[in-house]
């Protein structure tokens, strides 16, 4: 009779231990990808969903591409649509090609059609 009460108790205990073990599962990705995510502010590993692109805490692109965009006045990351080519804040071409056009009187960037020569 005592065996009948012990077996169900053992089965319940084993099931609860199995569930407890599931709660201690390691986060997604490897330690290397999680370290990369912590350093770069990305979510390559899947362990940091709040750092995914497009979230309020992490706009589009990576920190590196956003830094490039701030320095160069571009929109490589997608986080600075006002800096896209052709907008009032950023005419066609890059700052480098517009500088070349102003200095050489050319229209490589497309921002200075008045510099084009007609034949």
Position 105 scores a pLDDT of: 93
Position 106 scores a pLDDT of: 93
Position 104 scores a pLDDT of: 94
Position 102 scores a pLDDT of: 92
Instruction: Provide the Cα torsion 65, 68, 70, 75; round to 10°.
Output: -60
Q: Mark the ranges of the chain whose per-residue pLDDT is less than 50.
A: 119
Position 20 scores a pLDDT of: 55
In-domain check, residue 39: yes
In-domain check, residue 35: yes
Position 24 scores a pLDDT of: 66
In-domain check, residue 73: yes
Number of domains in the chain: 1
In-domain check, residue 16: no
In-domain check, residue 9: no
In-domain check, residue 117: no
* Residue 52 domain boundaries: 26-110
Question: Between the CA of residue 39 and those of 45, 69, 86, 103, what are the distances in Å?
Answer: 12, 20, 34, 41
In-domain check, residue 116: no
Beta strands in 22-104 (DSSP E): none
Half-sphere exposure for 56 (CA within 13 Å, toward CB): 0
Residues 6+ apart with CB under 8 A from 102: 112
Position 48 scores a pLDDT of: 84
Half-sphere exposure for 41 (CA within 13 Å, toward CB): 15
Position 114 scores a pLDDT of: 92
In-domain check, residue 2: no
């Amino acid at each position: 009779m005592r065996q009948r009460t012990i077996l169900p108790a053992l089965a319940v205990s084993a099931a609860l231990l199995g569930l407890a073990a599931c709660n201690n599962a390691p986060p997604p990705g490897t330690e290397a990808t999680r370290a990369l995510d912590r350093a770069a502010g990305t979510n390559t590993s899947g362990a940091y969903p709040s750092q995914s692109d497009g979230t309020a805490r992490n706009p589009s692109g990576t920190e590196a591409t956003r830094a490039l965009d701030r320095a160069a006045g571009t929109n490589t990351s997608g986080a600075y649509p006002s800096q896209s080519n052709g907008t009032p804040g950023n005419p066609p071409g890059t700052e480098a090609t517009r500088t070349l056009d102003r200095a050489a009187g050319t229209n490589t960037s497309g921002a200075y059609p008045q510099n084009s020569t007609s034949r």
